[in-house]
């Protein structure tokens, strides 16, 4: 019974998780390249880029957690 429940839950979450993973990976690569391009600019610009990447990583997971509970 528990195995069926876990299987159904995984099947429901897997597409959203896969979508989040490819989007986050692409976003992280883009931010990494922008950081290299902006290497000579102020550290503030690079900080905000990585902060935006961190927010992108966290928001979809919190939505998934909210759906699960």
Instruction: Please give the DSSP secondary-structure letter assigned to residue 41.
Output: S
pLDDT in tens, the chain (69 residues): 777 877 888 788 888 788 888 888 998 999 999 999 999 989 999 999 999 888 888 877 666 567 677
pLDDT value for 29 = 95
Q: How many CB atoms lie within 10 A of CB 28?
A: 15
pLDDT value for 64 = 59
Provide the token pair at 56: 């992108």
pLDDT value for 30 = 94
pTM above 0.85, yes or no: no
């Amino acid at each position: 019974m528990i195995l069926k429940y876990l299987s159904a839950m995984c099947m429901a979450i897997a597409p959203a998780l896969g979508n989040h993973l490819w989007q986050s990976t692409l976003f992280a690569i883009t931010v990494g390249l922008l950081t290299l391009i902006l290497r000579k600019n102020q550290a503030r610009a690079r900080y905000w880029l990585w902060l935006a990447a961190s927010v992108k990583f966290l928001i979809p997971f919190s939505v998934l957690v909210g759906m699960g509970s």
